[in-house]
Homo-oligomer: A and B are copies of this chain.
C-alpha cells in the first residue's frame, strides 16, 4: 500500500516508521519548502504543480497537519481516498465550527462568544467575566494567535495584536488538569480508545504527557470515550482523532479543542501501549483491524523543545526511549521526545525528574496526582 501524506514533519516521520513493518511505502507532499521528515519520498510542492505526480504515486492519502486549504483536500478526495475526510479538516481548522459541533453533540465546553470587532470583544469579556482568552478562529497552533484579557478594557490591544477578523472568546476554566483522549475509528466504524493522558503545557507548548493517570476515575474515562465517539461517528471519521479537555475539580470534563490526526499527547503510546497511535492510524486508514490500545505500564513523554539533550545521558536512564526528529535546533521547535516507562508511578516520577534535569529548559512539573 502506497500512502501519501500531506505534510512532511515529525508526525509523518513517525507514521512512516510505524508503517514500514506493514509494508507501506510513503510519499510526503510538503507545501512549506522545509520538509523535515527525513524518510520516504518527499515532494516539495509550494505551488500545487506536483499534485498530479503525487496522486499518481499513492493509493490513499492522509495528513499530519490540518491547516491545509479545504479545497485542496477536496480536490484530492476526487482522485484518491482521503482519511480522515476533508470535512474533518474543515471543522477542526476552525474554532467556531468546532465549538458548534461540540454544542450540537452536547459535549460541554467553556462558555464562549464569537466576536468580529474590538467592541464586541470588550462586550463579550464583560459578559463572560474576566479573565477571558481570545483566539483567532483559524490558524491557531501552539499558542499563536491568542491573547488573555485580564480586564474588558484590554480588548482593543488584544484585538490589534491577534489581528484576525473573527475571534472566539472563552471564559477561563478553573481546571485541575489538562487531559486528552485519543481514539481510533476504522473503516467499518469500530472505535478503540486509549487511556487518557494528563498533559502539561508551558506557553502553549506541550512539555509532558503522562498515561495512564493513577487517580483517574473510570467514569471520567468513559465520559471522554463517549464524547470522542460522538465526534467520530458524527464525522464518519476514519483514523486517529484527538480531543483535548480540561478536567475540573468535580471531575467533569470540558472540551477544549480537537485535532484530526496523531497527536503529541499520544506519543507515549509508542512505548507505553500495545499498539502505537501511529500504527493504529495506519491500520484504520487501510481497513485493517485496529490494534489493542491497552497501556503496558505507566509512561511519561517528555518533549524536547529548542535544544537537544545529550543522547548518551538520556539513554543511560533505564527504560528510556529516545525519539529524535533529526531537526536542527531552534527556539521553540519540537526536536524530539523521550518516553519513560516504569513499573509504577512513584518510579516513573523519579525518572521524569532525572530526565528533566538532562533536557535543556525542561520546566519543573507536578502532576495532578502528586498534589493529592
Contacts and interface: CB of A to CB of B under 8 A. Distances in A.
Interface of A: 13, 17, 20-23, 25, 38-39, 274, 283, 287-289, 291-292, 296, 311-312, 315-316, 318-319, 321-326, 336, 341
A186 to B, nearest CB: 11
B315 A21 contact: no
Contacts of A323: 21
A18 to B, nearest CB: 9
A21 B322 contact: yes
Candidate in A38, A288, A292 with the most chain B CB atoms within 10 angstroms: A288
Contacts of A321: 21
Contacts of A341: 274
B324 A21 contact: yes
Contacts of A21: 17, 321-324
A312 B316 CA distance: 38
A315 B288 contact: yes
B25 A20 contact: no
18 contacts: A17-B17, A20-B326, A21-B321, A21-B323, A22-B322, A23-B311, A23-B324, A23-B325, A23-B326, A23-B336, A25-B38, A25-B326, A287-B312, A288-B312, A288-B315, A289-B312, A292-B318, A296-B296
Contacts of A322: 21-22
Contacts of A291: 315
List the 5 closest A-B pairs by CB distance, nearest first.
A23-B324, A289-B316, A23-B326, A21-B323, A289-B315
Contacts of A319: 274, 292
A277 B125 CA distance: 58
Given A17-B20, A292-B319, 18 more contacts: A13-B20, A17-B17, A21-B323, A22-B311, A22-B322, A22-B324, A23-B311, A23-B336, A25-B326, A39-B39, A274-B341, A287-B312, A288-B312, A288-B315, A289-B312, A289-B316, A291-B315, A296-B296
A26 to B, nearest CB: 10
A326 B20 CA distance: 8
A289 B289 CA distance: 37
A231 to B, nearest CB: 25
A21 B336 CA distance: 9
Contacts of A25: 38, 326
Contacts of A17: 17, 20-21
Nearest to A14: B21
Nearest to A274: B319
A38 B22 contact: no
Contacts of A296: 296
A316 B192 CA distance: 13
Contacts of A38: 20, 25
A341 B319 CA distance: 18
A78 B368 CA distance: 56
A227 B341 CA distance: 32
Nearest to A327: B23
A83 to B, nearest CB: 16
Contacts of A318: 274, 292
A88 to B, nearest CB: 24
Contacts of A22: 311, 322, 324
